[in-house]
Structure 1
Amino acid sequence: MTEQEFIAVFAPLMEEITGNVFTQDQLDVTFADLDIDSLNQIEIINRIEDEFDCQIEDSTLRTIRTPRGLLDHISKSISPA
């Protein structure tokens, strides 16, 4: 998955759920600084998991702090072995 593919899914979700526009230069901004509270973060991640047909363990979810962290984890989980 490319950065652009991730942003194409993440940006509309962010805008729908939070009302905030997301741009590529915000990939390394924390979810908190993007005004994404924990419930919104869970909703966004659940919908990202559905979109990319992957599952992120709860213990891993607690370590993901930025959209890039989410992108990196999903890229690793859907990459062919």
Structure 2
Amino acid sequence: MTIDDLNRILVACAGEADSGPLTEQRVDTTFEDLGYDSLARMETASRIADEFGLSIPDDQVMELRTPRDVLDLVNSLVRA
């Protein structure tokens, strides 16, 4: 999964971040600071699971604090 993939899915699920599109410079910014709440994270995780054929437990989703956390998790699951 790339930053562009994640940005596309975030926008589809919850709209564009308050501060604009996700970039490499902002990948470590918390979802809260980007303007995304827990519901947005859950919807995003569900879409990612569907698109990439993954199973991501809800408790694991709630531990994801930044876009980098999501990218790291998804890419580790895809490689597994």
Smaller-chain TM-score range? Answer: 0.7 to 0.9
Normalized against structure 2, the TM-score is what? 0.79
> Are 1:10 and 2:6 matched, yes or no?
yes
Deviates more, 1:38-47 or 1:6-15: 6-15
Give distance in 2, aligned partners of 1:77 and 1:13.
17
Where does structure 1 differ by over 4 angstroms across 4 or more consecutive aligned residues? Answer: none
> Are 1:31 and 2:31 matched, yes or no?
yes
Give distance in 2, aligned partners of 1:40 and 1:22.
15
Show the counterpart of 1:70: 70
Q: CA RMSD in A?
A: 1.6
The answer on whether the counterparts of 1:30 and 1:67 sit within 8 Å (CA) in structure 2 is: yes
Query: Tell me, which stretches of 5 or more residues in structure 2 are unaligned?
Result: none
Query: Tell me, which stretches of 5 or more residues in structure 1 are unaligned?
Result: none
Deviations 1:30-57 (A, max 9, x none): 1111100111111111111112211111
Task: Choose between structure 1 and 2: higher helix proportion.
Answer: 2
* Superposed displacement of residue 14, structure 1: 2.4
- The alignment-based identity, stated in percent, is 32
The answer on whether the counterparts of 2:41 and 2:62 sit within 8 Å (CA) in structure 1 is: no
* Superposed displacement of residue 24, structure 1: 2.0
Show the counterpart of 2:16: 19
